[in-house]
Amino acid sequence: MKEIKIQDREIKKYTRRSWLSFVKFFALTGIGFAGWRWLYTQPLDGGILGGIPEPLRKGLEINEKLFKTTFNSARLVKEYAKSDAAKKVRVNGDVGLDTELFEPKKWTLEIQKAVGKTVSVKLEELMKLPKTEVVYNFKCIEGWSQVSWWGGVRFADFANHFGLEKELLMNYVGMSTPDFDYYVGIDMESALHPQTILAYEMNGKPLPMQHGYPLRLIIPVKYGVKSLKRIGSIYFDNEKPSDYWAERGYDYYIGL
Ligand SMILES: Nc1nc2c(c(=O)[nH]1)N[C@H]1C(S)=C(S)[C@@H](COP(=O)(O)O)O[C@H]1N2
Ligand SMILES: [Mo]
């Protein structure tokens, strides 16, 4: 008799428990659904395609702050031997690389100084500066990566050579293709990272056209999107410069 009573009570307890989880399940699903609906009624953050809901952008901005406080500019990205570098380098993205209107012989790099003046620099001038090579695992957010070998001038060496001290005090560097179709914004700390280079070589040879001839950015602390091919101009700002993929919803900072 006694045993049966205990079992009875146990059964009641469990029935009550499963009833409670049932109610909780529906309540939480309801909250989740309402939250999701709310998110998609929030204003978008702008950008060419309308951007992403503001609360999501806030989330990215919080990530960015965390990243900035934990990012150690002295930390180097892992390097590989030149023999590990891919011989066939993958090509990805051709925005701003229209070849029809582009005249390689007339190309110069335009540096917009903080106060008014623009300085035009020829490739030969850049090639006279100390060369830095980097062999690292290039990562694209689309899910592929590849060890590749690049050579050029360190952004920091370039900036010192051209007397950009004032510009370096600003928060961001902006870079764009000569036709302004592709553009990136880089936080100054990452631009001055010792492995960030303005590259004019790939696998020890001049950059092939599709890889950004005559000059591209190689920034190993970030995903491939920021490694702008065919740099036309470089500018400086305290506010975030426009960024092609950030305008399309990606993280602005997009560090590794
Ligand atoms: N001008 C320009 N630069 C660009 C892109 C682009 O579309 N246009 N795509 C970016 C992306 S998403 C990646 S992954 C790399 C790919 O560089 P690769 O073609 O040399 O592999 O270039 C970046 N730089
Ligand atoms: Mo990419």
What is the SS3 assignment for the chain? CHHHHHHHHHHHHHHHHHHHHHHHHHHHHHHHHHHHHHHCCCCECCCCCCCCEHHHHHHHHHHHHHHHHHCCCCCCCCCCCHHHCCCCCCCCCCCCCCCCCCCHHHCCEEEECCCCCEEEECHHHHHHCCCEEEEEEEECCCCCEEEEEEEEEEHHHHHHHCCCHHHHCCCEEEEECCCCCCEEEEEHHHHCCCCCEEEEEECCEECCHHHCCCCEEECCCECHHHCCCCCCEEEEECCCCCCCCCCCCCCCCCEC
Nearest CA to ligand 1 atom 6: 93
**Span from the CA of 37 to the centroid of ligand 1 (angstroms):** 35
**Span from the CA of 50 to the centroid of ligand 2 (angstroms):** 21
CB 169 within 8 A of CB 192: no
State if residue 229 touches ligand 1 by the CB under 6 angstroms criterion. Answer: yes
Of 204, 230, 205, 236, nearest to 217 by C-alpha is 230
Can you tell me the distance from the alpha carbon of 250 to that of 247, in angstroms, rounded to the nearest whole number?
7
Can you tell me the distance from the alpha carbon of 221 to that of 70, in angstroms, rounded to the nearest whole number?
13
Can you tell me the distance from the alpha carbon of 157 to that of 236, in angstroms, rounded to the nearest whole number?
16
Nearest CA to ligand 1 atom 19: 91
Predicted pLDDT at 3: 59
Predicted pLDDT at 107: 97
Predicted pLDDT at 24: 85
Of 173, 207, 227, 198, nearest to 104 by C-alpha is 207
Atom of ligand 1 nearest to the CA of 223: 14
Nearest CA to ligand 1 atom 5: 93
State if residue 182 touches ligand 1 by the CB under 6 angstroms criterion. Answer: yes
**Span from the CA of 143 to the centroid of ligand 2 (angstroms):** 8
Report CA Rg, the chain.
26
Predicted pLDDT at 62: 80
Predicted pLDDT at 6: 64
**Span from the CA of 59 to the centroid of ligand 2 (angstroms):** 22
Would you give per-residue pLDDT tens digits along the chain (256 residues)?
555 566 677 777 777 777 888 888 888 888 888 888 888 888 887 766 777 888 888 888 787 777 776 767 678 999 999 999 999 999 999 999 997 889 999 999 999 998 779 999 999 999 999 999 999 999 999 999 999 999 999 999 999 999 999 999 999 999 999 999 999 999 999 999 999 999 999 999 999 999 999 999 999 999 999 999 999 999 999 999 999 999 999 999 999 8
**Span from the CA of 92 to the centroid of ligand 1 (angstroms):** 5
